[in-house]
Amino acid sequence: MFRSIARMAFAAAATLAVAGPAAADEFINVLTGGTSGVYYPMGVALSKIYGEAIPGVRPSVQATKASVENLNLLQQGKGEVAFTLGDSLAFAWEGNEEAGFKNKLTKLRGMAAIYPNYIQVVASKDSGIKTLADLKGKRLSVGAPKSGTELNARAILGGAGITYKDLGKVEYLPFAESVELMKNRQLDATLQSAGLGVAAIRDLATSVDIVVVEIPAEVVDKVGAPYVKATIPANTYQGQDKDVQAAAVVNYLVTRSDMKEDTVYQMTKAMYDRLPELAAAHSAGKEIKLENALQGMPLPLHPGAEKFFKEKGVLK
């Protein structure tokens, strides 16, 4: 009897040993940005969607310094899907060392164009800053070093004929830390590249009287693609009672070339099937539209995403 039970237990263990690897969860690490930005809450919502809609996956979310770090991590196999700004993505694909990419990141593959990032320059009213030219001699935070935001800062300031040397002080800080310094009057302005209604600026506007500084159309035209003219609608932030001209650049979701075709297909489908959940996570999610999914994509699509967009008629 004992031997019979032992044989049955051994057989069951052997079966589990064979079945184990096949039944193992597939990890999907979502690379986002700082917790006070837009990428992070969107990434949390996306992770939840993956976990509920795709059998056999185990999603996780990683807070990072955003675009440049995300793309380098993907290339190293340390993530499965990442949020990124379009200009950072183009620089990664071409291997622009000045932008933070020592070599061409050949393992990257596109998933979808999502929502535009608005380049938002916000100053304290007490600073006296009303235009981009007024930033000269002032203290400005331009985002984490060589982040997507900082690349945007260089481009927009350059378009306005301003260099970092023209500023009184340059701080390379994430959104939340920039806001804390402004509250303490240790900083005059912050440039943040994010979806409209970013939490850090909303927080700032409840504590300090702010000015949302205009980025004139001629500056955007001078900078050129991938930047486009945009408008920050009145009342996006407390105390902002008028529309403000600005610049925008498209955000993308990116994956790795070695990801399974079916997994990426399921990831892409799950997101578009459940867009209201992304809109609930952050207002920027309302701007994700299937018809814009391939807008300006600067690198090849992953075959899984390609299959989905062909099914939907977005890709011929």
Paired residues of 116 in beta bridges: 250
pTM (2 d.p.): 0.78
Q: State the virtual CA torsion across 75, 282, 237, 70 in degrees, nearest 10.
A: -10
DSSP state of 80: S
**Structure confidence at residue 241 (pLDDT):** 95
pLDDT tens figures, 62-108: 999 999 999 999 999 999 999 999 999 999 999 999 889 999 999 99
Task: Look at 43 and 9; give whichever has higher pLDDT.
Answer: 43
pLDDT above 50 for 209: yes
Determine the average pLDDT of the residues in 240-245. Answer: 97
Structure tokens at 67: 């675009």
| Cα–Cα separations (whole angstroms), residue 42 to 70, 74, 99, 184 | 15, 18, 25, 29
Q: Give the residue among 199, 281, 312 at the shortest CA–CA distance from 30.
A: 281
At 36, is the pLDDT very low, low, confident or very high (cuts 50, 70, 90)?
confident
pLDDT above 50 for 17: no
Instruction: State the pairing for strand pair 189-194/108-124.
Output: antiparallel
Instruction: State the pairing for strand pair 228-232/189-194.
Output: unpaired
Amino acid, res. 268: T
Q: What structural domains and CATH numbers belong to the chain?
A: 25-115+251-311 (3.40.190.10), 117-249 (3.40.190.10)
pLDDT above 50 for 14: no
Q: Give the residue among 245, 142, 236, 238 at the shortest CA–CA distance from 188.
A: 142
pLDDT tens figures, 131-146: 999 999 999 999 988 7
pLDDT tens figures, 277-302: 999 999 899 999 999 999 889 999 99
Average pLDDT, the chain: 91
Paired residues of 121 in beta bridges: 191, 213
CA dist., res. 92 & res. 167, Å (int): 28
At 48, is the pLDDT very low, low, confident or very high (cuts 50, 70, 90)?
very high
Determine the average pLDDT of the residues in 30-47. Answer: 94
At 182, is the pLDDT very low, low, confident or very high (cuts 50, 70, 90)?
very high
pLDDT above 80 for 125: yes
**Structure confidence at residue 24 (pLDDT):** 66
pLDDT tens figures, 18-28: 333 434 689 99
Quickly count: other Cβ atoms within 10 Å of residue 291's Cβ.
9
* Phi and psi at residue 219, to the nearest 5°: -70, -45
Amino acid, res. 15: T
**Structure confidence at residue 226 (pLDDT):** 84
Round the CA-based radius of gyration of the chain to a whole number and report it.
Answer: 22
DSSP state of 252: E
